Homo-oligomer: A and B are copies of this chain.
């Protein structure tokens, strides 16, 4: 889609700084480094790493990147202007910025007179001096400066003359980019269009007059009005050339502009060049990688990269989309590394079951009685609280069962679990005893574990590994429990979802019971069974067991 003639846009990722302001998100230095290297692979030109000096974690982070630098991206240090009535050169904060050793520094300053007088409690004139001194000092130390005009849009609406003066100061001091920030996220797209056009016009005049290079405009938006992506697009269409945002839209309150939505919109729909095509095809993977590192569940309904983004549920859609994807999909999912998916759910008709069978490589015909049996069994289980939408491996087992193809690797005869806690002592281990039959042979095994599910899991593996040595490679990668009928408390049904992996593939299974241990055990058992099935029927392939791509793709120069 992008060609050599596509106009270039510069992406600026702030996941590691503004993104970490999201409630519930916290990252270690190691997490930050992993994310930075992933963004580097993706070909994001600017990565804002944090505010060295404001917290020790960020100081460490920049030091580590000096030892082992990024390959493609510029890592950017972020800071405020100097404090009122100080000297930039003697600000310890700015010394920490220089020590971070980046080529680029982003300085944020106040645009809104109200913030100057009530926030900083200084004069409008001093604020201009703070902007000037900070940018000039960093320039004198060999740094290239991006100027973030904080609260730009609100400031401009309240006092355009003063707001423009702050930008004039930044231009005259040598800032190369002027980034207009909708810090409170309250601006509407048509306002963004007008104001960006006005700034573009004004800053060209000012730069010309001052005989400075005309700085380029950037945009930094927040999602408080559900318009962060639209506002960024509006700014680009009005002339902005840098787009700031975060992976998965993480950020304070309602988040920042989501780069996972912006990049495909800009590149596939508006024809700008942001990253390479191959890198664009890694976007879904990058989104999920970041959500894993920050330990937040991915948003399944996220545009472009969500697991539901190209999922088809209604019966009409399913048959039509199989005939002609264009009729029900706005882009090809593969362009952003996502996949079409047929959803199995309560509303599913027989056509969904057939389509699902096809993606599993199973021959199933509408006229076969098994097709209806599978649909019926699925509906019965769903009425008991099973939900196969997120547990496709369990659905695959159900299909194999109905078709008489489910291999009996083992059979559970029963188990016992015992836990004991004495206040003030370290938690004693849980003890599980399990009886399992393999090829007619009964095995009784016991194991301890840190919790009851761990103990059960350990006992089961211990019993099975001599028959199926590949079990040693399996691991539980995620484990979630949800109460089903919210108003009956601890006696309600629980649904356990277990994600398992073998280093190459991942798959999800589920269990449902009023007993949390039984639900967990069902899911663990199905996870082991499906893992064994992958060895005996390796062709069974679907999204949740998709082979994890290697992450050493080289990044182009785009």
A: residues with CB less than 8 A from B are 20-24, 26, 55, 112, 114-115, 118-119, 151, 183-186, 188-190, 223-227, 229-230, 233-234, 237, 252-255, 258, 261-262, 264-265, 269-270, 292, 295, 300-304, 306, 308-314, 317, 320, 323-324, 326-331, 343, 345-347, 382, 387, 389-390, 411-423, 427, 430, 449-454, 456-457, 475-487, 489-492, 494, 513-518, 520-521, 524
B418 touches A185 (CB 8 A): no
Residues on the B chain within 8 Å of A514, using CB: 427, 450-451, 454
28 A-B residue contacts at CB 8 Å? A21-B347, A22-B301, A24-B345, A114-B327, A119-B323, A184-B329, A185-B303, A185-B330, A188-B265, A188-B269, A190-B237, A223-B301, A225-B304, A226-B230, A252-B311, A252-B317, A255-B301, A295-B486, A419-B452, A451-B514, A451-B517, A453-B516, A478-B486, A479-B483, A479-B490, A479-B492, A480-B481, A481-B481
Residues on the B chain within 8 Å of A188, using CB: 233, 265, 269-270
A330 touches B186 (CB 8 A): yes
A115 touches B327 (CB 8 A): yes
Identify which of B258, B312, B389, B453 contacts A226 (C-beta below 8 A). Answer: B258
A23 touches B489 (CB 8 A): no
Closest to A317 in B: B252
Contact A313/B189 with A254-B308, A303-B225, A518-B421 known, Cβ cut-off 8 Å: no
Q: Which of A227, A237, A345 has the most CB of B within 10 A?
A: A227
A23 touches B313 (CB 8 A): yes
Residues on the B chain within 8 Å of A114, using CB: 324, 326-327
A303 touches B223 (CB 8 A): yes
Residues on the B chain within 8 Å of A262, using CB: 226
A303 touches B483 (CB 8 A): no
Q: How many copies does the complex hold?
A: 2
User: What are the nearest 9 A-B pairs in CB distance?
Assistant: A186-B330, A476-B489, A230-B230, A226-B261, A451-B515, A481-B481, A454-B490, A450-B514, A414-B422
A516 touches B451 (CB 8 A): yes
Identify which of B311, B323, B418, B419 contacts A515 (C-beta below 8 A). Answer: B419
B225 touches A451 (CB 8 A): no
B419 touches A416 (CB 8 A): yes
In the bound assembly, the distance between CA atoms of A516 and B453 in angstroms comes to: 8
A490 touches B423 (CB 8 A): no
A23 touches B476 (CB 8 A): no
A477 touches B486 (CB 8 A): yes
Q: How far is the CB of A202 from the nearest CB of chain B, in Å?
A: 23
Residues on the B chain within 8 Å of A389, using CB: 23-24
A306 touches B414 (CB 8 A): no
In the bound assembly, the distance between CA atoms of A225 and B305 in angstroms comes to: 11
Q: Which of A151, A185, A323, A347 has the most CB of B within 10 A?
A: A347
B23 touches A427 (CB 8 A): no
Closest to A324 in B: B118
Closest to A228 in B: B226
Q: Which of A118, A252, A515 has the most CB of B within 10 A?
A: A515
In the bound assembly, the distance between CA atoms of A233 and B443 in angstroms comes to: 65
Q: How far is the CB of A432 from the nearest CB of chain B, in Å?
A: 9
A320 touches B119 (CB 8 A): yes
In the bound assembly, the distance between CA atoms of A306 and B22 in angstroms comes to: 13
A491 touches B450 (CB 8 A): yes
Closest to A452 in B: B517
Q: How far is the CB of A6 from the nearest CB of chain B, in Å?
A: 16
In the bound assembly, the distance between CA atoms of A299 and B558 in angstroms comes to: 36
Q: How far is the CB of A162 from the nearest CB of chain B, in Å?
A: 15
Residues on the B chain within 8 Å of A295, using CB: 484-486
Residues on the B chain within 8 Å of A449, using CB: 490-491
Identify which of B112, B224, B317, B427 contacts A330 (C-beta below 8 A). Answer: B224
Closest to A425 in B: B414
In the bound assembly, the distance between CA atoms of A415 and B292 in angstroms comes to: 35
Q: How far is the CB of A235 from the nearest CB of chain B, in Å?
A: 12
Instruction: Supply 12 further A-B pairs (C-beta < 8 A) apart from A22-B301, A457-B489, A481-B516.
Output: A119-B320, A227-B229, A227-B233, A253-B308, A292-B486, A415-B420, A416-B419, A450-B515, A451-B490, A451-B491, A480-B482, A516-B516
Q: How far is the CB of A307 from the nearest CB of chain B, in Å?
A: 8
In the bound assembly, the distance between CA atoms of A230 and B303 in angstroms comes to: 14
